């Protein structure tokens, strides 16, 4: 057994050793490094909790939903009536788009994660796309310059997807404070658990100071629950009450197994720190390989790397597929850049070998 895998076993992070990391497409096993999943899987207690709960599948989610909201609120240091449970970004985009009426503007960074703004556009919202900065970070100055009386919301992902970059902490908090005076700012922190300073970077700080911000989190990434699709938003009490009155965030709409799994994950108080350590170590190895080869890459703080192989994406993706690896999709206009999820140590070594081959043939 790989020495690092043995280390992970000792610390309860080897549940993803990998039947779970591959999917069978025909006769070939494909290593999935495309969707930024946690290769180590959820805490061990999650599987046990799900197995125990299977006999309750005939029952709707009841008090368990309220228990989860209370647990989330305690972890965030806010009141339960500041929590909207569920993966609500699509619903939120639809609602804000309708509320703003035709032509209401939604600002976000491109390339980026467009689920909220795409939903708003389907009901008449106007998407205002702001290119990333030269460092492939959210260009906060340019975004601020796009805010006007028609702006319904600003949608930011921090760390950004697909670049993995984060903004300077002080600059980011100051931006949120000022921008939120003019429009609601929604921050997707799906990857924040993988960064060097979760507490210092979270926009929850701004929310607690009274700024007009909403923070979205998911259990699909660091918590290893991508297959159960559950997340939540944190916002001011008036905004949460208003959105819930429109039908968002009913705990009884949550998948029962998702709720039970998340509650079980919360009980492992050191799981996230162990995942952070494992991913950070593998990310550092990736950076060392890329720097030695002279390959441009972002300063990712997420569980993926974003690199420029100076070849068309289609050629790069095809080479990875030939070697049994699936990588992230293309993100225009960066058509020579690729996003590769950080997998298990041996998967990363395999992916790095493909990178070396591609770089040698450029």
Q: What domains, with CATH codes, occur in the chain?
A: 3-43+270-360 (3.90.1150.10), 58-267 (3.40.640.10)
Beta-bridged to residue 296, according to DSSP, are: none
How many Å apart are CA 246 and CA 309, to the nearest integer? 47
Q: Are strands 184-188 and 151-157 parallel, antiparallel or unpaired?
A: parallel
Q: Is the pLDDT of residue 358 over 70?
A: yes
Q: Binning pLDDT at 50, 70 and 90, where does residue 12 land?
A: low
| Residue 13, pLDDT score | 58
Q: In what order do the strands lie in the sheet with 325-327?
A: 22-25, 28-33, 325-327
| Residue 62, pLDDT score | 87
Cα separations (Å) of 143 from 25, 109, 199? 42, 8, 24
Provide the residue count of the chain.
Answer: 362
| Residue 24, pLDDT score | 44
Tokens 């309220």, residue located:
66
pTM (2 d.p.): 0.92
Q: Is the pLDDT of residue 331 over 70?
A: yes
* Mean pLDDT of the region 128-143: 98
Each residue of 267-315: pLDDT tens digit?
999 999 999 999 999 999 999 999 999 999 999 999 999 999 999 999 9
Tokens 């043939």, residue located:
361
How many Å apart are CA 278 and CA 59, to the nearest integer? 37
Q: Is the pLDDT of residue 22 over 50?
A: no
* Mean pLDDT of the region 133-140: 98
* Mean pLDDT of the region 116-136: 98
360 Rama sector, left if φ>0, alpha if ψ -120 to 50, beta otherwise: alpha
| Residue 310, pLDDT score | 98
Q: Binning pLDDT at 50, 70 and 90, where does residue 7 land?
A: very low
Tokens 């990363």, residue located:
348
How many Å apart are CA 294 and CA 274, to the nearest integer? 30
How many Å apart are CA 70 and CA 295, to the nearest integer? 46
Q: Is the pLDDT of residue 32 over 80?
A: yes
61: CB partners within 8 A, 6+ apart: 251, 252, 253, 254, 255, 256, 259
| Residue 313, pLDDT score | 98
Each residue of 69-117: pLDDT tens digit?
999 999 999 999 999 999 999 999 999 999 988 999 999 999 999 999 9
Q: Are strands 126-131 and 151-157 parallel, antiparallel or unpaired?
A: unpaired
Q: Binning pLDDT at 50, 70 and 90, where does residue 252 land?
A: confident
Token duo for residue 348: 């990363």
Percent of the chain scoring above 90 in pLDDT: 89
Q: Exposed, middle or buried by CB within 10 Å (0-12, 13-18, 19+), for 346?
A: middle
347: CB partners within 8 A, 6+ apart: 18, 21, 31, 33, 39, 325
| Residue 362, pLDDT score | 73
């Amino acid at each position: 057994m790989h020495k690092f895998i043995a280390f992970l076993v000792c610390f309860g992070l080897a549940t993803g050793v990998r039947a779970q990391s591959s999917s069978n497409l025909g006769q070939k096993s494909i290593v999935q490094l495309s969707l930024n999943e946690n290769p180590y899987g959820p805490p061990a207690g999650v599987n046990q909790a799900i197995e125990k709960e299977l006999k309750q599948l005939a029952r709707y989610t009841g008090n368990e939903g309220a228990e989860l909201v209370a647990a989330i609120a305690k972890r965030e240091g806010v009141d339960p009536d500041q929590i909207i449970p569920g993966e609500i970004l699509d619903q939120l985009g639809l609602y804000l788009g309708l509320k703003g009426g035709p032509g209401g503007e939604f600002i976000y960074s491109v390339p980026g994660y467009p689920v909220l703004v795409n939903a708003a556009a389907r009901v008449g919202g106007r998407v205002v796309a702001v290119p990333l900065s030269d460092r492939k970070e959210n260009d906060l100055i340019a975004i601020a310059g796009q805010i006007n009386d028609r702006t319904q919301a600003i949608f930011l992902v921090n760390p950004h997807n697909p670049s993995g970059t984060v903004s300077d902490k002080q600059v980011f908090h100051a931006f949120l404070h000022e921008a939120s005076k003019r429009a609601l700012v929604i921050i997707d922190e799906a990857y924040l658990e993988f960064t060097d300073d979760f507490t210092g970077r979270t926009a929850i700080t701004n929310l607690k100071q009274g700024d007009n911000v909403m923070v979205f989190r998911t259990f699909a990434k660091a918590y290893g629950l991508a297959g159960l699709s559950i997340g939540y938003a944190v916002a001011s009490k008036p905004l949460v009450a208003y959105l819930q009155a429109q039908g968002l965030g009913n705990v009884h709409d949550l998948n029962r197994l998702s709720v039970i799994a998340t509650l079980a994950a919360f009980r492992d108080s050191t799981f996230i720190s162990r995942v952070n350590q494992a991913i950070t170590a593998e990310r550092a190895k990736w950076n060392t390989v890329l720097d030695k080869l002279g390959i441009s890459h972002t300063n990712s703080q997420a569980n993926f790397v974003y690199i420029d192989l100076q070849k068309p994406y289609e050629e790069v993706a095809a080479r990875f597929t030939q070697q049994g690896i699936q990588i992230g999709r293309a993100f225009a206009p960066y058509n020579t850049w690729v996003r590769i999820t950080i997998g298990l140590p041996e998967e990363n070594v395999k992916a790095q070998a493909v990178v070396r081959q591609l770089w040698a043939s450029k």
